[in-house]
Structure 1
């Protein structure tokens, strides 16, 4: 039985979505004539500024194109659903945002993205554009700490891109922008829980199976295997499992500061997210950890998957300033 979606043709879903986004946010973003999958900020790129290009597969909205705008990403290369963008839109984004100070590539640690962004970097090097790459690896459930380089990038992209975008907007050097991006990644921790699968527009079939009374802790945003599948638990129990995993690696001390993100994977409503957020704050207060800022909502989705993720960024003064730096993007802003 096919799943229900409000689409026309599955193969047209991404481009028709982009049409709608550009109609809604024409004052913030534009599409390059040279490639319809290259989305660029109207107000971000400028001479002497390090350009920030992000990107990845569709189906994770508002990631990635929702974070394009002044003060955050200068451009996003858009792939098909759950698929890396090919090199061409990445190349066009790079040329469009190059202000002569170099360009920073940031995206989740997935094989297709690494291959295609690396190819793009090699191509633009022939035009004397210097590119640095920082992969996001915030999904601590996806590999042990001694294999951090294998970890996936998930909702923590929100904080990692935000910090890097602020550094670029402050007109810092390419070396400094890369340093801050790596620092942000190293201090960002995410764990998710899935309650049900999602379905691709082209197939309209569930991409994995899950029982009515099951959940999976640590599942990836494309349905990658998590840490464990087990009976569905209460919101507090789920949140505790996630927070315990994050605390086990982050090891925050009394008086430390964090930024919090409680993210919907697609169909989980705000009611349930705020119930989880309540427990996150309880656990942080018990540990004596200060919450600097909190975001609750959909920031990195997986189509209509039911479930949520929790992200903590372990702040210091420098990262706090980057998180607070103003930005004005298509689907996110900080004043």
Structure 2
């Protein structure tokens, strides 16, 4: 294992120290493993997300004006604790309530539920939205029901924009829930990933094979098949998503994310084929992001997310945002 780390035991703490050094505009609480926006939020709904690390820039890279108010960081591929989530809620609550955005993994769901109960005891009103958008499998190793993946990024952006407009907690939760239900994702892995504490690849994937529908923790996908070219992979993932939900008749937000070890040039190669496949199906892409947004350490591959939008969702997507990983309009 070759990694730019000091010790497998200190990766998260060391990374948070790096975030603090690189981004003084953020407040980094290393003890509680939190990244918090410093902008005032008087009488405004606060938006919090979080999960295991190893998926950067999710979630800490999306903290800032127009998106998240705080992110809770668990150890690599491990849920943060309810105490961390409560500490985040206490830090950012401004009297209008707190929205939790939760990826559908068993540990995350249970811990955020417990954090909501603890917050209620502290007089903090909360609401939660669970993202479960992975079309690959149901009831995987890590979760009951579908896994939460790329739609999480879009939910965080839309919820943050709605909160910035001064909407109530119920209103912010409603638009976040609508976006969550409108999103579908599918990923393909060309290699495994290596968790520092483990020291070797999470699974064996021969050079001439790929895992279709892989999870962001290295969970098995739908099937293992011979390696295809970009056009074939694009067809596979577009077909899987489009067969699961109707994305015609309305504009779509598309997010193509690398999984951590995929060069940007390869992402653009496959996005060209994805765009062709979407056009052939009559799916109109109104907004698109290509790059690393939700990753899996050093896994090679990509994940496509589509969210069926409308004028309101597009307007909130276009609203100003200033985070370390996503910014426009500010």
Report the TM range for the smaller structure's normalisation. over 0.9
- Following TM superposition, by how much is the alpha carbon of 1:205 offset from its aligned partner in structure 2, in angstroms? 1.1
Asked whether the 8 Å contact 2:234–2:277 carries over to 1, the reply is: no
1:223 is displaced (CA, Å) by 1.2
Aligned match of 1:117 in 108, 112, 118?
A: 112
Superposition TM-score, scaled by structure 2 size = 0.95
Tell me the equivalent position of 2:307: 313
Q: Distance in 2 between matches of 1:225 and 1:248?
A: 21
Check whether the contact 1:250–1:314 (CA below 8 A) recurs between aligned residues.
no
Matched, 1:19 2:26: no
Matches within 5 A, 1:1-335: 3-27=1-25, 29-32=26-29, 35-43=31-39, 45-143=40-138, 150-253=145-248, 255-335=249-329
TM-score by length of 1: 0.94
Task: Kindly tell me the number of residue pairs found equivalent between the two proteins.
Answer: 326
| 8 A Cα contact 1:262 1:276, kept in partner | no
Query: Distance between the aligned counterparts of 2:251 and 2:118, measured in 1?
Result: 41
Contact residue 191 and residue 300 of structure 2 kept, 8 A: yes
Q: Distance in 2 between matches of 1:277 and 1:60?
A: 21
Aligned-partner Cα distance in 2 for 1:71–1:96:
18
State the alpha-carbon separation in 2 of the partners of residues 239 and 289 from structure 1: 14
Of 50-59 and 286-295, deviating more is 286-295
Cα offset, 1:149, TM superposition: 7.0
CA RMSD of aligned residues (A): 1.5
Secondary structure, counterpart of 1:70 in structure 2 = coil
Uncovered stretches (5+) of structure 1, i.e. residues with no partner? none
Deviates more, 1:115-124 or 1:186-195: 115-124
- The secondary structure found in structure 1 opposite 2:134 is coil
- The ranges of structure 1 where at least 4 consecutive aligned residues each deviate by more than 4 angstroms after the TM superposition are none
Does the residue aligned with 1:93 lie in a helix, a strand or coil? helix
Aligned 8 A contact 1:326 1:334 in 2: yes
Contact 2:321 2:327 survives alignment (8 Å)? yes
Alpha-carbon distance in 2 for matches of 1:185, 1:140: 13
Deviation, structure 1 residue 55: 0.3
- CA distance, structure 2, for counterparts of residue 284 and residue 37 of structure 1: 40
Displacement of 1:289 = 3.0
